[in-house]
Amino acid sequence: MSKKIVFSDDKNIFVISKSKTSNKKISDGKPLVQTYTFSREQYHLATTSKGFGMKKFFALDGSNCMDCKFSGNQGAGGCYTHKFNQYVGFLSMLRSIKIEQLTPITISKVVEIVDLSRDTYVRFGTYGEPSLMPLSMVKRMSDVASNWTGYTHQHNKEFAQGYKDFFMASTHTDEEATDRASDGWRSFIALEKGSHSSAISCPASKEAGFVSNCSKCSLCSGATGKGKKINIYYLLKTNG
C-alpha cells in the first residue's frame, strides 16, 4: 500500500512517497521512500490545463531543478526523468494533490516522514533538487533508514554544503570531482560516451553487469554513508 506526505513553500511542492517500484535497477521489489520536488508552476499547469506536452511541463522547473545542466529551464533538458512514463506519473501525482494539502512543513509532518523512512531504503531526489528539503529532516530520515542515495547539482553553492554528508555531488569529469573532493564531497560522475574515469563503475549499470541495485548498493550516500572516499561513475546513454 502506497502512502505520500505533501508540504510546500512559496515556490515548490514536496512529495515524500512510500511504495513499490518495478524498476529492478533501483530496488528488488521491496517498498522504498522516494522524494519529489515540483515547482508550483508545474502543479498549476498540471491541475488546470491539458494537452500542453512534456517540453512545456519541464520548462517550468526553474525553482525545483534550478541550474542543473539537464533541466528543462536551461534549454537543453535531457534529464533521465524526461521520459514519457515518468512524465505521465508526475502529472498523475500532482493531480492527486488537493490544494488544501499545500501547506508548510510542520513538526507532525516531519515525524510522519521520519516514521515512513524507518528501516527502509530512501531515494532522495527521485525528481527535483533534494537539497531544497530541510537539512535537519534529511538527517533524521537518513538516521532511521536502512540505507539511502541522493545527488545534487548544487554542490558548489554555499546553502548546499551541509548536504555533502548525505548526497553525492553530481559532476561530469574526474577534474570536477577532484575539485569537489577538496570541499569534502564525494562525486557521482555522469560521463559522456567515450569518456573515461578513475572512479568505480556504478554497480547497477550495464557497464558493471547490473551486479547490484541502488537499494542494496547505496554507495551514493554522501560522506557519512557507504563508500567513504570512493567516487562512482556512470556512462550517459544520451544527455542525462
Element (DSSP H or E) covering residue 238: none
Give the integer Cα–Cα distance in Å for 114 and 141. 5
Could you read off the pLDDT of 140-165 as tens digits, one per residue?
999 999 999 999 999 999 999 999 99
pTM of the model: 0.94
Could you read off the pLDDT of 65-105 as tens digits, one per residue?
999 989 999 877 789 899 999 999 999 999 999 999 999 99
Q: What is the DSSP string of 116-166?
A: HHTTSEEEEEEES-GGGS-HHHHHHHHHHSSEEE-EES-TTSGGGGGGGGT
Q: What is the percentage of the chain residues whose pLDDT exceeds 90?
A: 77
pLDDT score recorded for residue 203:
86
pLDDT score recorded for residue 239:
41
pLDDT score recorded for residue 234:
82
Which ranges of the chain would DSSP assign to H, the alpha helix? Answer: 40-48, 54-58, 62-65, 84-95, 107-117, 135-144, 174-181, 214-217
Q: What is the percentage of the chain residues whose pLDDT exceeds 70?
A: 98
The predicted model gives 195-214 an average pLDDT of 83
pLDDT score recorded for residue 194:
72
Give the integer Cα–Cα distance in Å for 154 and 166. 13
Better-scored residue on pLDDT, 123 or 207: 123
Strand, coil or helix: 88: helix
Q: How many CB atoms lie within 10 A of CB 93?
A: 19
Could you read off the pLDDT of 171-186 as tens digits, one per residue?
999 999 999 999 999 9
pLDDT band at 240 (very low <50, low <70, confident <90, very high): very low
The predicted model gives 119-142 an average pLDDT of 98
Backbone angles phi, psi at 92, to 5 degrees: -60, -45
